[in-house]
Amino acid sequence: MQNLEIQVMPTGVEEHPNMDGSFNLLTPKNHAQVAYTEIQGYPRLITDREEVRKIADRYGTMRAVALPPNQSHALIEKKLEEL
């Protein structure tokens, strides 16, 4: 899929900026970006611009720590061959 990019977080990274749980950043057409979190079964839609900005910053930091897409792809392929 051309609109999908996967980056693998190396197992050697003991801590990264999103140890709290998963989140989604959504940018609806003609609307401001929002964030959606679900931590321990409690869903939350975040619309506060400052809070969304902090989550977007965390996303950027995570991408910087993760393997680049080409290395992630190579690692996934290698692991599949080992099966």
* pLDDT digits 0-9 by tens, 11-48: 888 777 677 778 999 999 999 999 999 888 899 999 99
pLDDT at 16: 72
* pLDDT digits 0-9 by tens, 61-81: 999 999 999 999 999 999 999
- Which two tokens mark 34? 């929002």
What does the DSSP assignment read for 26-69? E--TTS--EEEEEETTEEEEE--HHHHHHHHHHHHHHHHHSPPH
pLDDT at 1: 74
